[in-house]
Chain A
C-alpha cells in the first residue's frame, strides 16, 4: 500500500502535537512563522523592486539580461549554502523500512520533502514578482515565463545535486574557487569566463527551446538521485552513523585548575565535538561582524545609544548564544552531574568563567573596529566590560529558567530551530540587550558621552567584584529548580 500524502501529513502532525512541551513549540513555531512571513515579504518586495532598481541603474539594458549576469553567482552561493545547511530528510526513514512500502516510494517521499526546502522558495518568491512586473511593464512574453521555469528547474537540479555529491568537500571547494576566482578575474582581468556562462541564460531567454535541455538535465538528476538514495537505504550505508575522528583529546593542561578546570575541559569538548554546539558557537562568532552594519553608517554616528546595542552583540555574541542554553547543554547527562561529587557552585563557576573568557576573546577580536574611531572602540570596550561582569551572570541567571533539553549532536535546521527555544528566554533577552542601552542612554543624556561609557563599565566592574555573592544567589535558584529541571531533561529522552 503506498503511503499517501495524507498519511504522511498525519504522521507529521502527530509527531508535532505529541512531542513534549508542544505548546511551547507551537509558540515557537508561531514566532518563526512571523519570521518566515517577514522574509517572505522582504523577498517579495525585493522581487518587485528588482525591476525598477535595474531600470534605474542600467537604463539601456534589458532587465532580464542584467539578472542573468548575476544569477550564476546566486546559484553558486545557493549551492554552497545548501552544502553546509541542507541535509537529506532521512531521519525517520528507518521505521518505514520494514513496512509494506516499496523502497522507491520511501525515496520519492524523501525527495519530495526535500523540494519543500527554504532554498527552493527563494528563486520562486523573488523571481515570480519580478516576472510579473516585467510582464506588466514590458509586455507579456512566453520567453520570460519559460526563462522563469528554467531558473526554477535549475534550482531543483541544485537541490538534488547536493544529495549526489554527498558532502564531497572537493566539489564545494571547487565551487568556492570558481565564484571567487570568476569574480576576481572578471573584475580585474576582464576575463570572459563568467560572462560567457551567463550568456547561456540569455540564450535561454532568447531561444526558449533550450529549456528542454534543462528539463532533461532535471529528469536525469532526479533519476540518478532516486537510484543513489535507493542504494543508500541500508543500515550500514546511508542510514549508518559516520565514524568520527577524536578531536580535542589533549586538554589535560586544564587539570591544574582543579574541578573548574576539569569542567572547562568538558565544555570545550562539548563545543568542538557536537554539531549543535558548533553551530551555536559559529553564530556567536558571526555576531563579531554585526557591528559592521551599524558602524559603517553615518546616521548612527549621531546616535551612540544605538551603537551600544551593536557593542553588546559584538562582545557578547558567543556569551549569549552559548550562555542562554546553560544547563541545557548538559541535559543529556544532568542526572549524572547531580549525583556526582560536584557542588552546584563549582558547576556554575566553570560556566561563568567560560562566558567571561569568551567576552575577553570577542573584545580582543573586535579591536579592528578601532578603524571606525576612538568613540566606536570605547563603546565596544564598555559593552565588553558590562558583558564581562554583569552580562555573563545575567545569562546564567536566565538559564535557570530554561529547562528545555538539548540534543547535542543533532543539527538544527534553518527555521526549525525550536530546540531550547523558550518564551522566557525571549523575555530574558530584553534585559541583556536593553539594560546596557538604557544605562548608557541616561548618562549620555544627563551628562555626556564619556559619562555613559563610564557608567556602563562601572556596572560591569561592580558586578565583577560582587560576583561571588551574585553567583550564590543564582545558585539558590538552580538549587530550587533542580527537580523541575531534572524532570524536564529526563522526560524528553528519545
Chain B
C-alpha cells in the first residue's frame, strides 16, 4: 500500500524525519508511536503531500504523491480540526466529503447510521455548526468523516485523544471491523500504548525522526514499549 524510500525532511538543517525504508502492506493496521517531536505528524503530512520532502519519495499504490494526485480518491485522513469545515453542520460536512467521493446525499446518510452508538447521540441532528462542537465531538465527527466511502487508506493522528473511555473502546472496535470487512489500511499515531498495542498489528517507534523499533504486536509488546518509554 505504502512504500517509503530514504524519505527525509529537514527544517533549517535539522533532521525532523529520516526514514531509510518503510513498507506498509495493504490491510495492515499500522501504529506509530513516539514522544513529542518524534516526527509522527511530519510523516503523515509527507504521506498526504501537505509538505514537501527534502529528499526521497512516498509511493501510495505505486503512485508518487508528489507527482500525481490519483492517490486522493482512495486515501483519507483526519489529523486535526483543520480537517473539519467549521461553518457546516455534521451532515453537511459528510455530504460534502461524500460528494467528492462520488456518493449521493442518501448514500452518505445511510453510511453514517451504523455509527450512531459511536456518536452517542451527540453528533448527528444537533442543529449546530461544527465549530460549536466540543473537542471530543469534533474528533468523533472527523474520524467517521475520514471513513466515508470506504477509502483504502485512512490516516488518523491521535484518534484516541480527547475521547471519553466508552468512545475509545468503540473506536477500537470500529477500526478493527473496518480493516476486517473492507481491507482498509489504517495508519494511527497515539500516545496511548495500551490502545495501540491492542489495535495495531504492527508498531513502529520513532524517535527524533528515526525508526528505533519496528515490531509485530505480540502479548509482550506492551511491556516492551513501557520499558522503553520509562527510561
Q: A residues near B, CB below 8 A?
A: 241, 243-244, 246, 249, 252, 255, 259, 262, 265-266, 269-270, 273-274, 332-336, 338-343, 408-409, 483, 486-487, 490, 493
Q: Is the CB of A266 within 8 A of B96?
A: yes
Q: Does B100 interact with chain A (Cβ within 8 Å)?
A: yes
In chain B, positions 171-207 with a C-beta closer than 8 Å to chain A are none
The 0/1 profile, CB within 8 Å of A marked 1, for residues 58-79 of chain B is: 0000000000010011011101
Q: Is the CB of A338 within 8 A of B50?
A: yes
Q: Is the CB of A335 within 8 A of B99?
A: no
Q: Is the CB of A274 within 8 A of B99?
A: no
In the A-B complex, the 5 residue pairs with the closest CB atoms: A273-B87, A262-B99, A336-B83, A341-B73, A341-B72
Q: Is the CB of B87 within 8 A of A274?
A: yes
Q: Is the CB of A241 within 8 A of B87?
A: no
With A335-B50, A339-B48, A342-B100 already in contact, the answer to whether A249 and B84 are too (CB < 8 A) is no
A21 to chain B, nearest CB (A): 18
Q: Is the CB of A332 within 8 A of B73?
A: no
Q: Is the CB of A338 within 8 A of B49?
A: yes
Query: Which of B52, B82, B105, B127 is in CB contact (< 8 Å) with A336?
Result: B82
Q: Is the CB of A273 within 8 A of B51?
A: no
B100 to chain A, nearest CB (A): 5
* A487: chain B residues within 8 A (beta carbon): 51
Q: Is the CB of B82 within 8 A of A335?
A: yes
With A243-B132, A246-B129 already in contact, the answer to whether A333 and B50 are too (CB < 8 A) is no
* A338: chain B residues within 8 A (beta carbon): 48-50
The distance in angstroms between the C-alpha atoms of A493 and B92, with both chains bound, is 24
Q: Is the CB of A262 within 8 A of B96?
A: yes
A342 to chain B, nearest CB (A): 5
* A252: chain B residues within 8 A (beta carbon): 105
Query: Which of A335, A339, A343, A483 is in CB contact (< 8 Å) with B76?
Result: A339
With A244-B132, A486-B51 already in contact, the answer to whether A333 and B100 are too (CB < 8 A) is no
Q: Does B8 interact with chain A (Cβ within 8 Å)?
A: no
Q: Is the interface of A mostly helix, strand, loop or mixed?
A: helix
Q: Is the CB of A408 within 8 A of B87?
A: yes
The distance in angstroms between the C-alpha atoms of A270 and B92, with both chains bound, is 12
List the count of A-B residue pairs having beta carbons below 8 Å apart.
85
Q: Is the interface of B mostly helix, strand, loop or mixed?
A: loop
* B124: chain A residues within 8 A (beta carbon): none
* A486: chain B residues within 8 A (beta carbon): 50-51
Query: Which of A246, A274, A334, A341 is in CB contact (< 8 Å) with B100?
Result: A341
* B10: chain A residues within 8 A (beta carbon): none
Q: Is the CB of A249 within 8 A of B96?
A: no
* B128: chain A residues within 8 A (beta carbon): 243-244, 246
The 0/1 profile, CB within 8 Å of A marked 1, for residues 85-116 of chain B is: 11111001000110111100100000000000
Interchain Cβ contacts under 8 Å between A and B, 9 examples: A241-B132, A243-B132, A246-B89, A266-B96, A269-B88, A333-B82, A333-B84, A338-B50, A409-B86
* B213: chain A residues within 8 A (beta carbon): none
* B89: chain A residues within 8 A (beta carbon): 246, 249
Query: Which of A341, A342, A408 is in CB contact (< 8 Å) with B86?
Result: A408
- Give the residue name and chain of the A residue nearest to B89 (CB): A246
8 A-B pairs besides A333-B84, A341-B101 with CB distance below 8 A are: A244-B128, A246-B128, A262-B100, A269-B92, A333-B85, A339-B77, A341-B100, A343-B69
Q: Does B135 interact with chain A (Cβ within 8 Å)?
A: no
Q: Does B131 interact with chain A (Cβ within 8 Å)?
A: yes
B15 to chain A, nearest CB (A): 18
The distance in angstroms between the C-alpha atoms of A144 and B100, with both chains bound, is 69
